[in-house]
Amino acid sequence: CHCHKQRYNRGLSPPASSNLPSSISRASINLNHSIKLSLKTKPHFKPNPLHYRHNNHQTFTQTKNMSVACGVECVVVFGCARWLWKRCTYIGSYDSATWPSATAVEFEPVPRVCRIILAIYEPDLKNPQHFQPANGYRLNPDWVVKRVSYLETEGHAPPYIIYVDHEHREIVMAVRGLNLAKESDYKLLLDNKLGRQMFDGGYVHHGLLKSAVWLLNKESETLKKLWVENGCEYGMVFAGHSLGSGVVSLLSILVVNHRELLGGIPKEKIRCYAIAPARCMSLNLAVKYANLIHSIVLQDDFLPRTATPLEDIFKSIFWLVAPRPLDFNFQVCDLFLIFSRLLLSIAKCDNGLLNQVLMI
């Protein structure tokens, strides 16, 4: 064999297989030869540069897309965090930071109006016991023309009082604020939806407008009679606190646009004082009647500083705790009462603003 000769010529000892039969030896040699031929004839694999280029491009594209997605996500998260931070640190007084300060003459009627509003909460003005200010109401009980309770309003409006102030030559109609124990007040407040009620070229609170219309229809003759009896010289003042402020704000707009119902009273004799007012009209109406409606807000008071869409949250709470669909014909749930009392006590919305103004 050629292999055996090669090994012998190199000085190597013959392999042990040389003692085997020649048939086995030849088979082994043929097997080795076939393996060598197969190794020599096996084609060499060469990488395709186009294939590598395609894979690299795909990997680069995926990395680029992930980077863009991460960048967009970071921008969104940062924007939301910035909005949340500014929202949580926003002070309600920023809304009126650029407004001019009221003069002493302009502010003078405010404490007097607050005392009249507080008088609505007092069952007997001749023997005040509950909400009397430090210096008293300074009201003449004999000048009270009418006092209307929840029983008489039948849920159409909060209780109110009509008072003729002969000392200052004014006819005052004052409406009390939200009563946490009366579901009729919640019905009035939550009877609204954004864009639902158009009025005078803008949008107003639907429930508060209905209450204002009811008050005007019920008391227009009384107010007209009082104005005529006093020589058509007295001013007409509408005042309210919290929920009542929204009612009188819209009531004063109705009176200005229908002055014939009150005997043709001049527009300059009509004024409105809204203490801790509810958001009840769109911006264009607020600007249009800015010389008529005077809003008094104490720092970060909850009700006037809260956006209108928050009412949807209150409705959602009612849906969660109510045993049946919301029709306002059920007792106010304890959970919502606790929630409302907590918010109003923190914000001092109940009677805190009235007392704060009277202490000035």
What does the pLDDT read at residue 220? 95
Contact 180, 314 (CB under 8 A): no
Measure the CA–CA gap between 28 and 46, rounded to whole angstroms. 33
SS3 240: strand
Contact 264, 228 (CB under 8 A): no
Looking at the DSSP bridge assignments, the partners of residue 160 are 148, 175
Is the Cα torsion angle 320, 325, 326, 332 positive or negative in sign? negative
Amino acid, single-letter form, for residue 86: K
What is the CB-side half-sphere exposure of residue 282 using CA atoms within 13 A? 14
Measure the CA–CA gap between 335 and 322, rounded to whole angstroms. 10
Instruction: For the beta carbon of residue 303, count every other beta carbon within 10 angstroms.
Output: 24
Measure the CA–CA gap between 202 and 195, rounded to whole angstroms. 9
Tens of pLDDT, residues 297-348: 887 677 677 665 565 666 666 666 555 444 443 344 444 444 444 444 444 4
Nearest Cα residue to 295 out of 273, 280, 324? 273
> Cα dihedral angle (92, 98, 99, 102), rounded to 10 degrees?
90
Q: 235-241 and 202-204 as β-strands: parallel, antiparallel, unpaired?
A: unpaired
Q: Where in the chain do CATH 3.40.50.1820 domains reside?
A: 107-359
Nearest Cα residue to 238 out of 288, 274, 201, 278? 274
Print burial letters for 96-122: b (CB count within 10 Å at least 16), e (below 16): eeeeeeeeeeeeebbbbbbbbbbbbbb
What does the pLDDT read at residue 336? 44
Alpha helices (H) along the chain: 2-9, 22-41, 49-88, 104-107, 109-121, 150-153, 183-190, 206-229, 243-257, 283-288, 302-305, 310-321, 334-347, 352-359
Low-confidence ranges of the chain (pLDDT < 50): 1-29, 31, 33-42, 45, 50, 52, 324-351, 359-360
> Does the domain formed by 107-359 have CATH 3.40.50.1820?
yes
